[in-house]
Amino acid sequence: LLLQETKVDPETVDFGWLPGYHRFWNRAAKPGYSGTGILTKHAPLSVLNGIGLPEHDNEGRVVTLEYPGCYIVCVYTPNAQAELARLPYRLAWDAAFLAFIQTLERNKPVLVAGDLNVAHQEIDLANPKTNRFNPGFSEQERESFGKILEAGFHDAFREFDPSPKKYSWRSYRANARANNVGWRIDYHVATPGIAARATSASIYKDERFSDHSPLIIEYAVG
C-alpha cells in the first residue's frame, strides 16, 4: 500500500489495527507537509528515502523498496501551484526523478506508483479545454511526463484500460465526485516487463478516503 501526502509523523500513529505489515516512511522536514509511506507484508532487501539530491529530498516525496525482482518506488510529485508559480521547480524535479528511476532500472525492473500531479492527455480529465493552462495540465508538465514514457517506461493503467472518464482525483467542490468530474493524476509507471504483467486495473470509488481514490493494479508474478 503506497501512500502520498501523508503529512504525518508515523511515530504519532497507532498501527495496532494493522498487524503483520512493515512500515516505511519518509517525512518532510516541514511538519504537516507532503510525505510518503509504504505498508507491506513483504520485507524488502533495502530501503531508500529520497533520490539522493539534497535540493529535492527535504519534502519527503520518495520511498523506494528493493526486492529480489524489482524496485517499488512510492512518489508524490510536486504541484506546480496556482498560476504555475512553482513550475520551474516542478520541471527540475521531473528531470531529476527520471534520472533516478533510470539509474534503478539499470540494476533491475522498476514500478513507480503514486500521485504524479499531471493529467497526461485530454482523456485524463473531464474538462481539458478550460484547464489548458492550469497546474497539472500545462503543456510543460504534460511534455515532461511524456519524457518518462519516451525513456521506455509504461503508463500501466492507461495501457490496460484506454476508456474515458477514469479519474483518480476529484475536487471537494461543486459535487465533483457525484458527477464524476475529475482528473487522472495517480499512476503506475513501470518498466515493460512489469507493465505487461498487469492482470487488472481499477480506481476504487466505493468509499471516500480523501479527494483521491485509490488506484489498484494487480500483476501476475513471474
Is 76 catalytic? The answer is yes
Long-range contacts formed by 124-131: CB under 8 A, 24+ apart? 124/158, 124/167, 124/183, 124/184, 124/185, 125/167, 125/182, 125/183, 125/184, 126/165, 126/167, 126/180, 126/181, 126/182, 126/183, 127/181
Catalytic residue among 71, 94, 115, 186: 115
Residue of 81, 175, 182, 78 lying closest to 134 (CA atoms): 81
Length of the chain as a residue count:
222
161 catalytic per annotation: no
- Inter-residue contact 77 to 116 (CB < 8 Å): yes
Catalytic, out of 71, 76, 167, 219 = 76
Q: Which residues are catalytic?
A: 76, 115
